[in-house]
Structure 1
């Protein structure tokens, strides 16, 4: 039974998104989840499409004096990509040498998490592929924006952003960076992503690993036979 929120839980949100994507034409998609919260949502889409599911790890490069102030980001991939904000770097006094050191450190974190969740399997190559990027919701959109820019640098052919809920101004900004956005709810009054779910508990590592295991394709990285069509 639904409460006052739009989504019962992430599984329900993923199923609603999969149904909504039924009117969108995109051939042979790769579904990418931003972990951990995006994994249960993306799982329902990948299962609906019988498509490969992978995790896309994004790590912020923080400023020297304030790690919360981002001067760039590292995005997991084959190969990984880096997005830099040169203006922020100058403002924060982040040198190229500092950024290189932080990049190496964040790539090590990504490698550890990929090993934990995916057994060390290499990322699916995305050059020339159609991508559905999925999260459980968006607030500021900074992490998603870095992910999109990374996907562009990886030469993804088409990027569709699929999320259950986000503020309208955030979606408007992100829509300029992708080929298509599917967002089920864009409330004018937005307090938090979790406020739009009846159940928004933390997704444990074990759940992410189970999800990836259930959608693992023997031919991992090759196109699936099914596509979203109208």
Structure 2
């Protein structure tokens, strides 16, 4: 029987689309902040990071469910080489293949555009503290973002830049898919659908992933079974 993971493994690829799409009834960050219970204190690797160009605050105690913490798990794709990244949008999980038996799993939040694209792409490049370059199609919907267009060089890195501390860029057949894995997720967003972005990670986690990622590795985004219903800001 053809499962959704077998479907991806067979190389099925959906149409490429940008990390932006209008849709009704966005789920906002404020809504996620009020929706989750308190959890145990997080591990020490979620402490503040002070040796970056911009400060990264510690994750406050009780903000993340333990199953969403960064952790080593059994590799469910033992035939994939080390460095392969698997994104499961519906489970809000990202896996980095370490060996035939182990993977590092990260909890993520998934923006509207994170459900729009599926298939296997290439990790073309990575950026530390990337600029946010707003596509022209988004500026047509949100003219106030025009100062951050590609032509104007984008938004400078740092606090307030929605790309966060790191970003991974996916290309397919030499073409930018506009699908991004990036930082700046709020702790309470993890495991949830949010109103903006592609795949958003805690800055602590996206730094960890960035430093381990393998240039040119496959990044497979599993098909989503969730209906569209979010508005993407970036």
TM-score, normalization: structure 1? Answer: 0.28
More helix by share: 1
